C-alpha cells in the first residue's frame, strides 16, 4: 500500500433524498455533521448543508448545463480530498446508485484504494410519484415496476432501452432524465403497441415546494409538456396507477404550495420558521443575513454573568441571549443554584422556552413582546423602585427597555451577550437561487434582519412582498422606504406563519 493510501480518509457516497428535508436518512445527516468536506450536486437539497460543521469545506459540483465540472474532475476531487485524510461526503440527489453516475464514482474511489461507504437515499423515482399521489403498485393495477433512463449515453448509436420489451412488460414504468426526450420515448412506446390512452404523469421538482405535476395519456403527454414548458428535473410515470392520483393527491393541496419564501434569520434560528413554512408547502430560500458572534467585550459580559446572583431580576430579550448567558454561566459554575434567588423574565415564547430548557422557571413572561409592554408588566408587579435588573441582550439593541425601567426607578445593568454581524457567505447558494428564481415573499423577524438583508445589496426580485413579525420590525422596513404587506398579529414564529397563510389565501 502506498503512503498516500495509508493516510487516506474516507468517502461517503450519500443519498440526499429527493428534496424534502424530512426524507433525508438519519445516517446521511450524521455523515454531513461529521464531514470535513462535502461535494454536492444541484439535485441535492442545499439546505442539508446547514447540518455541516462551520469549518467544513463545501464544494458545489454543478452538473447543470454550463457550470459542470466534468465527471473526471469530480472523481479526481473526491480522491484528492480523501487522500488529504479527510472525511469526504459526496452528496447526490435521491439514491446514489439510482442513475446519476454514483456507481461510477464508487468504482473510481474503490480502485484508488480509498475506504468508502454507501448511504442509500430515497430515490425520486419512488418519492416523486408518492408525493404526486401515485402509488408505484396497486393490487388491481400492476405487479411489477420498471425504472429506466430516458437519457442515454450520447455516444451510443442504438438505444439500449428495449421499448418492445417494455411494451410487452406493462406494469408501472418510471423514467428518469427523460423530459427532453419525452416525444421520442412516447412515440417508441406507441410504435411498439402500448395503448394510446395509458395514463402518464410528469412530476417536476418532486417533494419540494416547487413540485408540479402534469398528467395526460401516452398520446398527448409530450405535446402537453411542450405547451406547458415542463422542464427537467422530472420523473415520468407510465401506468394505470397514475389514475389513482384523482383521489390520492395530497401534497399539492397545501396552502403555500409553490410559494417561494425567503427566510432571513441566522442559520441556527432559521429552521423553526422554515420547517413550518415547508410543512405548508412553501419553497423556502434560507438566506441568513446575520450571524451571531461573541460580544465585543466578552470579559465584561462574563463578569456580569458571574455576578448574576446579586440581581433581583434577570431579563432575557432573546433566545440567543439566553444561550450566550448560560454558555458562560456553566463555564464559571458547575451548579445551577449559583444563580441564587434571582427572578427571571423572558420576552417572547422562544426566549422563555430557552430558559426552560435550562430547567429554570420563568417568573414573568409578558403577553406582548414589545419593550414598552414589558415595562408595563413590570410596573403591574408593584413598585420597581431600587430593584436591581440585569438586562441580557444584543449589542446595539434598542434603548427603550433599559430607559423605561430606569425611569420607573429600577437600577439597570446591561449585559451585552452577543452581537449580530452581516452574513456575507453564500455557501448554500441561496443568494444565487434568489437572483435566478426570484421570490414571492420575504420574511423579516427583527429590525436587524431588515437592515442586514438590505446591507447585502442584492437586487430586489420583482414582485417580492414583505412579511414582518411585528410593529418594530415593520417600522424599520418603512424607514428603509419599503412597504409591509403583512404584519403578524402575534409577534412570534407561529403568528408570522399564520399571517403569511392569510396573505396568500386572500390574494389567490
Q: Which residues bind ligand SAH (CB under 6 A)?
A: 18-19, 43, 92-95, 98-100, 123-125, 128, 176-177, 203-208, 232-235
State the nearest-atom distance from the C-beta of 85 to ligand SAH, in Å. 28
Q: Which 3 state secondary structure label does DSSP give 293?
A: strand
Select 15 or 349, whichever has its Cβ closest to ligand SAH. Answer: 15
294 burial type by CB count under 10 A (0-12 exposed, 13-18 middle, 19+ buried): middle
Partners of residue 261 on adjacent β-strands? 284, 441
Cβ neighbors of 132 (< 8 A, separation 6 or more) are 201, 203, 206, 211, 213, 237, 245, 249, 251, 252
Select 8 or 98, whichever has its Cβ closest to ligand SAH. Answer: 98
| Dihedral over Cα of 94, 99, 102, 106: its sign | positive
Closest among 25, 1, 3 to 14, alpha carbons compared: 25
Closest among 100, 145, 103, 101 to 126, alpha carbons compared: 145
State the nearest-atom distance from the C-beta of 180 to ligand SAH, in Å. 9
Partners of residue 17 on adjacent β-strands? 94
Instruction: Give the active site residue among 81, 177, 259, 492.
Output: 177
Select 49 or 315, whichever has its Cβ closest to ligand SAH. Answer: 49
86 in catalytic set: no
399 in catalytic set: no
- Residue 429 CA, chain-centre distance (Å), reads 12
State the nearest-atom distance from the C-beta of 507 to ligand SAH, in Å. 27
Compute the distance between CA of residue 109 and CA of residue 114 in angstroms, rounded to an integer.
6
Select 284 or 500, whichever has its Cβ closest to ligand SAH. Answer: 284
Select 166 or 387, whichever has its Cβ closest to ligand SAH. Answer: 166
DSSP state of 505: H
Cβ neighbors of 220 (< 8 A, separation 6 or more) are none
State the nearest-atom distance from the C-beta of 211 to ligand SAH, in Å. 7
State the nearest-atom distance from the C-beta of 179 to ligand SAH, in Å. 7
The DSSP string of 334-363 is S-GGGGTT-EEEESSHHHHHHHHHTT---S
Select 63 or 267, whichever has its Cβ closest to ligand SAH. Answer: 63
Compute the distance between CA of residue 195 and CA of residue 387 in angstroms, rounded to an integer.
83
State the nearest-atom distance from the C-beta of 398 to ligand SAH, in Å. 43
Instruction: Give the active site residue among 20, 63, 175, 259.
Output: 63
- Write the CA distances from 447 to 265, 272, 350, 366, integer angstroms: 11, 19, 17, 20
State the nearest-atom distance from the C-beta of 254 to ligand SAH, in Å. 17
Select 59 or 201, whichever has its Cβ closest to ligand SAH. Answer: 201
Q: Which 3 state secondary structure label does DSSP give 124?
A: helix
Compute the distance between CA of residue 199 and CA of residue 203 in angstroms, rounded to an integer.
13
| Dihedral over Cα of 484, 488, 493, 495: its sign | negative
State the nearest-atom distance from the C-beta of 127 to ligand SAH, in Å. 8
Select 231 or 372, whichever has its Cβ closest to ligand SAH. Answer: 231
Select 126 or 322, whichever has its Cβ closest to ligand SAH. Answer: 126
Whether the ω angle into residue 233 lies within 30 degrees of 0, i.e. cis, is yes
63 in catalytic set: yes
Apex CA 400: angle with CA 396 and CA 405, to 5°?
A: 120
- Is residue 237 within 8 A of residue 203, CB to CB? The reply is yes
Instruction: Give the active site residue among 41, 95, 440, 492.
Output: 41
State the nearest-atom distance from the C-beta of 312 to ligand SAH, in Å. 56
Kindly list the strands in the beta sheet with 57-60, ordered across the sheet, starting from the edge strand earlier in the chain. 57-60, 37-40, 87-92, 10-15, 116-119
Catalytic site residues?
41, 63, 177
Amino acid at each position: 500500500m502506498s503512503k498516500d493510501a495509508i493516510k487516506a480518509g474516507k468517502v461517503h457516497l450519500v443519498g440526499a433524498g429527493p428534496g424534502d428535508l424530512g426524507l433525508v436518512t438519519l445516517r446521511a445527516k450524521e455523515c454531513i455533521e461529521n464531514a470535513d468536506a462535502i461535494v454536492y450536486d444541484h439535485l441535492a437539497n442545499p439546505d442539508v448543508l446547514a447540518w455541516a460543521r462551520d469549518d467544513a469545506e463545501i464544494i458545489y459540483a454543478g452538473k447543470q448545463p454550463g457550470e459542470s465540472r466534468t465527471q473526471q474532475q469530480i472523481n479526481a476531487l473526491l480522491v484528492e480530498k480523501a487522500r488529504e485524510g479527510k472525511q469526504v461526503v459526496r452528496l447526490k440527489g435521491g439514491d446514489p446508485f439510482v442513475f446519476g453516475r454514483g456507481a461510477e464514482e464508487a468504482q473510481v474511489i474503490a480502485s484508488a484504494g480509498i475506504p468508502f461507504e454507501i448511504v442509500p437515499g430515497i430515490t425520486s423515482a419512488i418519492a416523486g410519484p408518492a408525493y404526486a399521489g401515485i402509488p408505484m403498485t396497486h393490487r388491481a393495477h400492476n405487479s411489477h415496476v420498471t425504472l429506466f433512463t430516458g437519457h442515454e449515453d450520447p455516444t451510443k448509436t442504438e438505444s439500449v432501452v428495449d421499448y418492445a420489451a417494455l411494451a410487452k412488460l406493462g406494469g408501472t414504468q418510471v423514467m428518469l432524465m427523460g423530459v427532453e426526450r419525452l416525444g421520442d420515448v412516447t412515440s417508441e412506446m406507441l410504435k411498439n403497441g402500448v395503448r394510446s390512452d395509458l395514463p402518464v404523469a410528469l412530476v417536476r421538482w418532486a417533494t419540494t415546494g416547487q413540485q408540479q405535476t402534469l398528467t395526460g395519456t401516452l398520446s398527448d403527454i409530450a405535446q402537453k409538456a411542450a405547451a406547458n414548458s415542463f422542464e427537467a428535473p422530472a420523473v415520468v410515470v407510465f401506468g394505470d396507477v397514475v389514475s389513482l392520483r384523482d383521489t390520492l393527491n395530497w401534497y399539492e393541496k397545501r396552502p403555500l404550495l409553490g410559494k417561494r419564501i425567503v427566510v432571513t434569520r441566522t442559520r441556527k434560528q432559521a429552521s423553526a420558521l422554515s420547517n413550518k413554512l415547508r410543512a405548508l408547502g412553501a419553497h423556502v430560500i434560507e438566506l441568513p443575513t446575520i450571524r451571531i458572534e461573541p460580544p465585543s467585550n466578552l470579559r465584561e459580559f462574563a463578569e456580569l454573568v458571574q455576578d448574576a446572583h446579586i440581581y433581583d431580576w434577570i431579563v432575557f430579550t432573546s433566545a440567543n441571549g439566553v444561550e450566550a448567558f448560560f454558555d458562560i454561566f456553566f463555564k464559571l459554575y458547575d451548579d445551577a443554584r449559583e444563580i441564587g434567588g434571582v427572578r427571571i423574565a423572558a420576552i417572547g415564547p422562544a426566549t422563555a422556552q430557552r430558559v426552560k430548557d435550562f430547567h429554570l422557571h420563568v417568573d414573568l413572561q409578558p403577553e406582548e413582546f414589545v419593550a414598552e409592554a414589558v415595562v408595563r408588566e413590570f410596573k403591574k408587579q408593584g413598585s420597581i423602585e431600587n430593584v436591581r435588573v440585569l438586562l441580557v441582550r444584543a449589542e446595539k439593541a434598542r434603548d427603550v427597555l433599559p430607559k423605561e425601567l430606569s425611569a420607573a426607578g429600577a437600577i439597570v445593568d446591561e449585559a451585552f451577550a452577543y452581537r449580530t454581524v452581516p452574513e456575507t457567505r453564500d455557501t448554500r447558494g441561496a443568494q444565487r437561487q434568489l437572483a435566478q428564481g426570484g421570490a414571492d415573499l420575504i420574511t423579516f423577524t427583527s429590525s436587524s434582519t431588515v437592515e442586514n438583508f438590505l446591507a447585502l445589496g442584492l437586487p430586489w426580485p420583482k414582485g417580492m412582498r414583505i412579511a414582518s413579525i411585528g410593529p418594530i420590525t415593520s417600522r424599520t422596513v418603512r424607514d428603509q422606504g419599503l412597504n409591509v404587506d403583512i404584519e403578524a398579529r402575534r409577534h412570534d414564529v407561529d403568528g408570522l406563519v399564520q399571517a403569511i397563510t392569510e396573505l396568500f389565501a386572500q390574494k389567490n
